[in-house]
Amino acid sequence: MSPNIQLNEDGSLRHLLSLDGLPARILTQILDTAEGFLSVSEQEVKKVPLLRGKAIFNLFFEPSTRTRTTFEIAAKRLSADVVNLNISASSQSKGETLLDTVANLSAMHADMFVVRHSSAGAAHLIARNVAEHIRVINAGDGRHAHPTQGLLDMFTIRHYKGGFHNLRIAIVGDILHSRVARSQINALTTLGCPELRVVAPKTLLPHEVEGMGVHVYHRLEEGIEDVDVVMMLRLQNERMQGALLPSPQEYFKYWGLTPDKLKLAKPDAIVMHPGPMNRGVEIDSDVADGEQSVILPQVTYGIAVRMAVMSILAGN
């Protein structure tokens, strides 16, 4: 097996677990493939037969609506058979181990697992213990990675800005608890973004942030000045331990993106958010629903990107 568990010995994608360590040619292959799938969603019959006969199991050990639904839609548009595991009623709730659950599902002739879990490394653990023919996609693990969200964000930026080599991009908000931010930073660095900023209160930045190749800002007004892209993040209140912030109202006052603050960015800057949004906390509704917002197109592109990942992993 290749030292990078995500790649086969010939360098092709075997699992998608993180964007860290994946070469630019793989990221570009996924984005290019997704371009071809955009039109499928616009057809009268929204299906192609690429994964006909394949069994895809969605294993969501954490709550999710947008990500789970778009994975399900993506798999069905590729004509796969999709099984959504009901975790609350699964054997995990009766004490079965994660690997025993996966082994039993593998015995039902699974071809691909899409895994979301609160523990970082859960998808890696599964990938190292499945049969050779089974593929694993990480749909978010703890604070670690959310690679398909990172890829759909790259797809959105490339769609609106044409590339990455002349851009100034700001990631704003709860960097500390965000697996999305880590995937975005990995992808943007690999794809050649020349100036990547992270903008957050000191309490919401990881200690290792200075070593991630980013510029750090603690004031929103300075961090988004003259940027091409503003990527807002959700406050991960469920992952916070202790009082890291005074109140949602004060956070919005200093860190919430309002129309007046957005004027500091370039006039054609786009605004992104991975959702779900906390309106009036991270972002003002006039920005979220405004002309510069590409938040809903992000959701649409997420289906095409996930179709691309599944198709490539299946060998198409």
The candidate with the shortest Cα–Cα distance to 18, out of 134, 183, 208, is 183
Please give the Cα distance from 50 to 304 (Å, whole number): 14
| Binding-site sequence positions for carbamoyl phosphate | 66-67, 116, 146, 149, 275-276
> Bridge partners of 13?
7
Binding site per annotation, positions: 66-67, 94, 116, 146, 149, 179, 234, 275-276
Contact predicate 14/313, CB 8 Å: yes
Of 197, 189, 190, 258, residue with least CA distance to 229: 197
User: Binding site for L-aspartate, residues?
Assistant: 94, 179, 234
Dihedral sign for Cα 155, 161, 163, 167, please: negative
Q: 205: Cβ–Cβ under 8 A, 6 or more apart, which residues?
A: 175, 176, 198, 216
